[in-house]
Chains A and B, each alone.
Chain A
Amino acid sequence: MTNGMAAPAVATSGLVKTYRQGSVEVRALDGIDLELGAGEFTVLAGPSGSGKTTLLNLIGALARPTSGRVLIAGQDLGTMSAAELARLRREQIGFVFQAYNLLPVLSALENAELVLELQGVTRGECRRRAEAMLRSVGLGQLFGRRPSELSGGQQQRVAVARAIAAARTLVLADEPTANLDSKSAESLLDVMVELNREHALTFLFSSHDPRVVARARRVIHLEDGRIVSDERARP
């Protein structure tokens, strides 16, 4: 489901982000022009400090660029208020974080329901969709567990379920496999590839794991805040 055929899911132009550290100015992003079509499955690759997290933050409306524009499904983030940005994040974007970032006081099922509840989906519908999503990431048996009672791989799958249960346009993931062993990483990737196909959501995630990069259909390489290559695998 995307907002019409005309607008790409994500578009950026001349995106620049600088950070001040004392008197030194760090240019984390230095002019990013990028377009992601609906349903694409893309990896951001690049060495540490190349700007992957920063780019995901700007695309996910978690921070504002120093200059340049970001458009999500044709909407220019620069023209939106903080409340409108919050609404956009809530309704359009699913996030998967490197550190999982589940709420420790909520069960797996409640974490998966979290964003749906914030969207105002009815209780019964919340439950139904969250349960279905947890089953599809292979956690059908673990609804009632708290994050502290789950392995890293299981926690990250709950996070994926949370992101995908509520997202309508885009799923952003920052190094989702960085804290996982290779077996867990593989199976999480399987799940994501599967969900991408099933739900026609646009996926963008960062990684420097070559096995992850190998699974992507499009790989964008960043270095020092610039795109140095943008390659598509043949379908």
Chain B
Amino acid sequence: MAGMALVFAIAFRNLGRNRWRTAIAGAAVAVGVSMCIASFGVMDGMSSDMVRSITEVELGHVEVHAPGFSSRPRLELSFDQAAQRAAIAAATPGVRAVSLRVRGFALASSAHASAGVELVGVDPAREAAESRLDRRVTSGSYLPATPTPWPKAQELSTAERALDEKLTAQAAAAAANEIEALGSGRESPDPPELSRDETRRLLTALSPAPAAPPPILLGDKLARRLGSKVDATVDLMTNDSGGNPVDVVFRVIGVVHTGDGALDGTRAVAHLADVQRLYGLGDRAHELALSLEDASQAREIARSLAREPAFRGLVVKTWQELRPDVVAMVKSNGAFTAIMVAIIFVVAAIGVADTILMAVFERRRELGVLKAVGMRPLAIVLMIATETALLGAGASFVGLGVGVGIDLLLGRYGIPLGGLSGFTLAGASIPPVLHATLTAEGALWPVGLMLLMAILASLWPAAVAARTEPALAMGDR
């Protein structure tokens, strides 16, 4: 179009005519953009802190279980060849570390109190690499690499085998009696005390106690509840995978603090081999937790693992699938920020539209002259839109600089939350200090959107300008 350079020159120079007005409108845009970038930064920072807080303690970015385990963990939902599978998972590209775990429940008793615990058996080296559990030890020390030696199960002697058969027959008879008693209403006699002690003796022979109490880590809240300090012994009672009662004494080697209240109040962590032995699981385990080099690759890596023959029959899930509650929280966090940003933008756009509209009214005669000498209405629209876009672009880039600066500062120093500090929402802890994270999208979206808004906001004044009567140029009114 003829005169585009002219249109641009007029638009650009018009910005310099009322410097104060331009500066104020520009400041509104710049503040808007920088606030948006900062909000996105803090929101992204908070979300990634939340995600990190859940994925860096126990939850892996990707986890592998037997079908059904993740929704309802049960001892029998285990998989075999656990160590080999862990090694295969660890060798997968993009996987930083893999933890191999056995999970069960037990009743822990100290000299003072007892409490239900979630007993987790881990490979100490793998767990340290995956969840950095070793760094969370607040007193005592971390689990040693080698498990406690447990004596081999003894062969039963002939006498003992006979006793076993006798006890079995007795138990069968007792069961039959009980069924009869149900029919007749008579009370069934308790099995004799003697047979109970004998059963225990036989079990001890079949699964003997370890040579020394195996080491165990306790969550700090749990340790306080049990009144157990480092070096104290804790008695764990549970049922093994065959349903038989087992009872093993552990020694507290350390106390850990993860920051997650639920974990610190219920977790007892021991060597994988000790816990496998306790539950009679052999080489079976319940969980592979994978920590990835890049958390955003969880979906792809989960998909490729699921296709591996080594994981056939197992369920591979991402943390998003395992913790939809946290995903929802991150999403609502984002939605809240987006609403705030939209409000800021609308306010800034109205400010820009108002400024330009004022300028248009002030320059009506000039616009009339341009119309009179034959400038096309479209060229006038373009001229006004260019003026607005230049103002918006200049101010947006200032805002970009300021916003990025704020993000970098907040990334480095953070906003201390004071009294609110360090609370936990569904296991995802809001960190005591909010850190901003700078992302390309978080910085460029507000700039792009603001430019778009500025141009849209210019259309109204531009339309007013384009309709200016050319006759305004004549006379001295």
In-complex Cβ contact of B6 among A87, A88, A114, A175 (8 A):
A114
- Nearest 8 interchain pairs by C-beta: A90-B374, A120-B2, A105-B13, A62-B471, A117-B3, A89-B374, A101-B369, A62-B470
In-complex Cβ contact of A83 among B366, B372, B376 (8 A):
B376
Interface string of A68-101 (1 = CB under 8 A from B): 0000000000000001001111110001011101
B19 to chain A, nearest CB (A): 13
Contact A98 B475, beta carbon cutoff 8 Å: yes
Instruction: Give the complex CA separation of A97 and B471 in angstroms.
Output: 11
B373 at the interface (CB under 8 A from A): yes
Known: A99-B365, A101-B365. A106 touches B10 (CB 8 A): yes
In-complex Cβ contact of B473 among A95, A120, A175 (8 A):
A95
Q: Enumerate chain B residues within 8 angstroms of A99, measured Cβ to Cβ.
A: 365, 475-476
Contact B6 A97, beta carbon cutoff 8 Å: no
Q: Which residues of chain A in 104-140 are interfacial with respect to chain B, using CB atoms and an 8 Å cutoff?
A: 104-106, 110, 113-115, 117-120, 123
A120 to chain B, nearest CB (A): 4
Give A88's nearest chain B residue, CB to CB.
Answer: B374
Contact B474 A62, beta carbon cutoff 8 Å: yes
Instruction: Give the complex CA separation of A119 and B373 in angstroms.
Output: 10
Instruction: Give the complex CA separation of A125 and B365 in angstroms.
Output: 28
B452 to chain A, nearest CB (A): 27
Instruction: Give the complex CA separation of A28 and B57 in angstroms.
Output: 87
Residues of A within 8 A of B (CB): 53, 56-57, 60, 62-63, 83, 86-91, 95, 97-99, 101, 103-106, 110, 113-115, 117-120, 123, 162, 166, 174-175, 178-179
B5 to chain A, nearest CB (A): 8
Instruction: Give the complex CA separation of A87 and B371 in angstroms.
Output: 10
A112 to chain B, nearest CB (A): 12
Residues of B within 8 A of A (CB): 2-3, 5-6, 9-10, 13-14, 16-17, 365-366, 369-377, 379, 469-471, 473-476
Known: A117-B6, A118-B3, A119-B2. A101 touches B473 (CB 8 A): yes
Q: Enumerate chain B residues within 8 angstroms of A123, measured Cβ to Cβ.
A: 5
In-complex Cβ contact of A89 among B10, B365, B373 (8 A):
B373
B171 to chain A, nearest CB (A): 105
Known: A103-B10, A105-B13. A57 touches B471 (CB 8 A): yes
Known: A83-B376, A99-B475, A101-B365. 17 other contacts (CB 8 A): A53-B474, A57-B471, A62-B471, A62-B473, A86-B371, A90-B374, A90-B375, A95-B473, A101-B369, A104-B366, A105-B16, A106-B10, A106-B13, A117-B2, A119-B374, A162-B373, A178-B476
Instruction: Give the complex CA separation of A117 and B3 in angstroms.
Output: 5
Main secondary structure on A side of the interface with B: helix
Instruction: Give the complex CA separation of A120 and B474 in angstroms.
Output: 25
B255 to chain A, nearest CB (A): 75
Q: Enumerate chain A residues within 8 angstroms of B17, measured Cβ to Cβ.
A: 104-105
Known: A53-B475, A56-B474, A174-B475. A103 touches B366 (CB 8 A): yes
Give B370's nearest chain A residue, CB to CB.
Answer: A103
Q: Enumerate chain B residues within 8 angstroms of A120, measured Cβ to Cβ.
A: 2-3
In-complex Cβ contact of B471 among A63, A90, A117 (8 A):
A63
B3 to chain A, nearest CB (A): 4
Q: Enumerate chain B residues within 8 angstroms of A88, measured Cβ to Cβ.
A: 374
Contact B2 A115, beta carbon cutoff 8 Å: no
Q: List 8 A-B contacts (CB under 8 A).
A: A62-B471, A86-B371, A90-B374, A95-B473, A97-B369, A117-B3, A119-B374, A162-B373
Q: Enumerate chain A residues within 8 angstroms of B374, measured Cβ to Cβ.
A: 86-91, 115, 118-119
Q: Enumerate chain B residues within 8 angstroms of A115, measured Cβ to Cβ.
A: 373-374
Q: Enumerate chain A residues within 8 angstroms of B2, measured Cβ to Cβ.
A: 117-120
Contact A114 B373, beta carbon cutoff 8 Å: yes
Instruction: Give the complex CA separation of A99 and B369 in angstroms.
Output: 11
Instruction: Give the complex CA separation of A99 and B372 in angstroms.
Output: 14
In-complex Cβ contact of A97 among B376, B469, B474 (8 A):
B474
Contact A95 B476, beta carbon cutoff 8 Å: no
Q: Enumerate chain B residues within 8 angstroms of A86, measured Cβ to Cβ.
A: 371, 374-377
In-complex Cβ contact of A57 among B16, B366, B474 (8 A):
B474
Instruction: Give the complex CA separation of A119 and B375 in angstroms.
Output: 9
Give B365's nearest chain A residue, CB to CB.
Answer: A101
Contact A118 B375, beta carbon cutoff 8 Å: yes
Q: Enumerate chain A residues within 8 angstroms of B379, measured Cβ to Cβ.
A: 118
Q: Enumerate chain B residues within 8 angstroms of A105, measured Cβ to Cβ.
A: 9-10, 13-14, 16-17
Q: Enumerate chain A residues within 8 angstroms of B370, measured Cβ to Cβ.
A: 103
